[in-house]
Amino acid sequence: MVHAQKIVLLICVLAFFLPVRQLMAAEDAVNDVRILIDVSGSMKKNDPQNLRSPALEMLVGLLPKGSNAGVWTFAKYVNQLAPHQVINNQWRDKAAAKSNKIHSKGLFTDIEQVLDKATANQKQADPKTRRSVILLSDGLVDISPNAEPNIQSRQNILNKLVPRLKEANVAVHTIALADSSDHVLLRDISLATDGWYEQVNDAEQLQRVFLHLFEKVANTESIPLKQNSFQVDASVSEMTVLVFRKDNDKETELVAPDKTRITLKTNSENIRWRHNEVNFDLVTIEEPEPGSWYVDANVDPDNRVMVVTDLKLKTSDLPNNILIGETLEFDVSLTEKDDVITRLDFLSLVDMGLKHENEYTDAMEENLNPLKKEGIYRTVVGNTFQPGRNDIVTTANSGTFERQRRQSINVVEVPFTIDVSQLIDEPVRTHRLILKPDTSLINNETMSVSAMLTADDGNEWPYEVIKMLDNTWQLTIAELQPLESYTVNMQFKGETVKGRPVFLQAEPIVLFDETPKPDVVDEATGELDVLADIEEVIPVADELDIEADVLLPEVESDVVKLADDFGTTNEQDGLDGESEKELNTSTLLYGNIILALLVAFGLFMWRKQAANNRNPGEQL
């Protein structure tokens, strides 16, 4: 029987692992966002308050004018809730109104159909379009009561749809709204297309998740909020303020630089106020007054101020998913009408900084000012990344304006698994290692794997690991010495699915001899010696035998001698009946005494042996 042990890789960064240069975000690329919402019956349980509706309302209100967007719902059938077109105020109003039509009455969950129909016209990549899909579902692929059609549909998604979406450069961001969701499928879709995967255990988190995805798909300009205060400069032609409310919060108010208070009841042509009864306000103001503004509401880390301006903070576009150990060159600049600002008199007044945040360590800040060269601030990110979500916040600050851009990166710690087993049935000691790469992250065609076997005495043997037809990698090591341990170090060279070079090293794998211990056979008799391994029992047994041999013969000889004496006397002297009766009584008395002594001695020795054989844990 083969005993398998799964080894999880810990990837370490090598000193010569060079950072990858990231391209600056293309300013002329048009955003194309397609939103797919599950309306199957299971949503009654997983979203009983229908919080998908306000989350969608918020998202369509945030999407910038000039972008392209559309909304689809799906269950057994696919319906277009809002047409795919260029975003304007009329589209926003209609899409927000249609968000109230989201329900939980559908049968089945046809993810394949909605992905196919919503992206039907996206066959090839378009460098002028930044394509994104947001897919929200709470279930498995479910198109039939029978298992076979469901399995086939799932395979179609992975084997047909996902390759087409990758070819068309469509990033699919997936949200799993239940423990019952097909997390593996949704994660694989997002990783393969360099999208973002998010698991949501509570529908109340949906709005925050949609905000996070909005910042990924829209690439908008933001102004930092500091204790609900923010600075608007003269270049801002429009600003949108998002304020999250909690239960029993007072009504949101904005305080302008001239101390004018703007509320939901303010009637002005340049103000659009979208008030959601659940928990947010979305306020858009055209030509806002320059100066210091204040949001009179509770402070929330997810409150945002987004602006339309010709003065923009431009950064490298970071990938959504990388491997731990990857480092990326990161460029930052300020542009005016898409031209990089290089004027030293202007840049000398700008404080440029970068902050790295994750859930494991304290936030780390970096001053980018010394790195400025010809208007470009260049640094490297990734050295401090931790597994999971990492946020990069870039901020430009001066006395007259502020800009901010947020990006998040999912760092994957384990892009491989290794199964280690010892082949017990082989005539010599043999171990087999099978490597399974995560092909949604690693390009298996560019990969090479090498290994080094090291014995306890320091001897080393190099191996090349063989790629198998099923896209796994296999290493078989034979003729190892029994009972000795060996260490295997494995290294991997190749590229990610996005073409970034990687050089990875696994944690050392120790091979132990797990061959069952052979039974001991007595050569003289050919019989199995059961007590061969029970070394502790033998001295106890011998000790008991010796004590018994010492005591028992004396008792036995006394009893026999006594009986003989009485028998002889009775025969020779011819005792009368009275004397014989007294003699029998005495004999019986002595016999009972001796028997009682033997029983007491046996009980004593039994308790002594039981105490010696008891496990240490039983004596506690």
Q: Is the pLDDT of residue 415 over 90?
A: no
CA distance 216 to 198: 13
Q: What is the CATH number of the domain that holds 389?
A: 2.60.40
138-175 pLDDT tens trace: 988 999 999 999 999 999 999 999 999 999 999 999 99
Residue among 280, 296, 291, 219 at smallest CA distance from 244 = 280
Tokens standing for residue 6: 């799964």
Decide the pairing of beta strands 30-38 and 466-467. Answer: unpaired
Q: Is residue 355 part of a domain?
A: yes
pLDDT tier at 509 (50, 70, 90 boundaries)?
A: very high
Q: Is 606 found in the same domain as 506?
A: no
Q: Is 445 found in the same domain as 478?
A: yes
Q: Is the pLDDT of residue 620 over 50?
A: no
Q: Is residue 320 part of a domain?
A: no
Higher pLDDT, 415 or 456: 456
Q: Is the pLDDT of residue 522 over 60?
A: no
Q: Is 207 found in the same domain as 71?
A: yes
pLDDT tier at 615 (50, 70, 90 boundaries)?
A: very low
pLDDT value of residue 359: 83
Number of domains comprising the chain: 4
Tokens standing for residue 544: 């008991």
Q: Is 329 found in the same domain as 300?
A: no
Q: What average pLDDT does the segment 421-450 reach?
A: 90
Domain that holds residue 172: 28-311
Which pTM value belongs to this model?
0.73
CA-CA-CA-CA dihedral for 371, 376, 380, 381, to nearest 10: 120
Q: Is the pLDDT of residue 75 over 90?
A: yes
CA distance 267 to 232: 22
482, 511, 540 - which closes a domain: 511
pLDDT value of residue 14: 32
pLDDT tier at 582 (50, 70, 90 boundaries)?
A: low
Q: What average pLDDT does the segment 572-596 reach?
A: 60
DSSP one-letter code for 521: B
Least confident of 117-121, 140-144, 378-382, 613-617: 613-617
CA distance 353 to 426: 62
Q: What is the CATH number of the domain that holds 77?
A: 3.40.50.410
pLDDT value of residue 518: 61
Q: Is residue 45 part of a domain?
A: yes
pLDDT value of residue 521: 53
Q: What average pLDDT does the segment 172-180 reach?
A: 91
pLDDT value of residue 612: 45
Q: Is 351 found in the same domain as 227?
A: no
pLDDT value of residue 519: 55
16-68 pLDDT tens trace: 333 544 545 545 689 999 999 999 999 999 999 999 999 999 999 999 999 99
Q: Is residue 522 part of a domain?
A: no
pLDDT value of residue 560: 44
DSSP one-letter code for 101: G
pLDDT value of residue 586: 63
Q: Is 303 found in the same domain as 248?
A: yes
pLDDT tier at 504 (50, 70, 90 boundaries)?
A: confident
pLDDT value of residue 361: 84
pLDDT value of residue 197: 95
- In the predicted model, what is the mean pLDDT of the chain? 84
Backbone phi, then psi, for 169, in 5-degree steps? Answer: 60, 45
Q: Is 238 found in the same domain as 103?
A: yes
Q: What average pLDDT does the segment 91-99 reach?
A: 95
Q: Is 551 found in the same domain as 495?
A: no
Q: Is residue 134 part of a domain?
A: yes
Higher pLDDT, 576 or 5: 576
Q: Is 295 found in the same domain as 159?
A: yes
Q: Is 344 found in the same domain as 329?
A: yes
Tokens standing for residue 335: 């542009």
Q: Is residue 23 part of a domain?
A: no
Least confident of 242-246, 389-393, 436-440, 599-603: 599-603
536-570 pLDDT tens trace: 444 444 434 444 444 444 444 444 444 444 444 44
279, 311, 343 - which closes a domain: 311
CA 173-177-183 angle, to 5 degrees, is 65
243, 278, 311 - which closes a domain: 311
Higher pLDDT, 6 or 214: 214
Q: What average pLDDT does the segment 569-574 reach?
A: 45
220-256 pLDDT tens trace: 999 999 999 999 999 999 999 999 998 777 899 999 9
CA distance 491 to 452: 9
pLDDT value of residue 584: 59
Q: Please, which residues bridge with residue 24 across strands?
A: 316
Q: Is 492 found in the same domain as 373?
A: no
Distances (CA, A) of 374 to 7, 312, 328, 343, 347: 48, 17, 20, 9, 10
How much helix, strand and coil, in percent to the nearest 5, is found in the chain? 30, 35, 35
pLDDT tier at 579 (50, 70, 90 boundaries)?
A: low
pLDDT tier at 297 (50, 70, 90 boundaries)?
A: very high
Q: Is 230 found in the same domain as 90?
A: yes
189-214 pLDDT tens trace: 999 999 999 999 889 899 999 999 99
The answer to whether 350 and 399 are in contact (CB under 8 A) is no
pLDDT value of residue 617: 31
Q: Is residue 539 part of a domain?
A: yes
Q: What average pLDDT does the segment 585-598 reach?
A: 71
Q: Is residue 19 part of a domain?
A: no
pLDDT value of residue 587: 65
Q: Is the pLDDT of residue 476 over 60?
A: yes
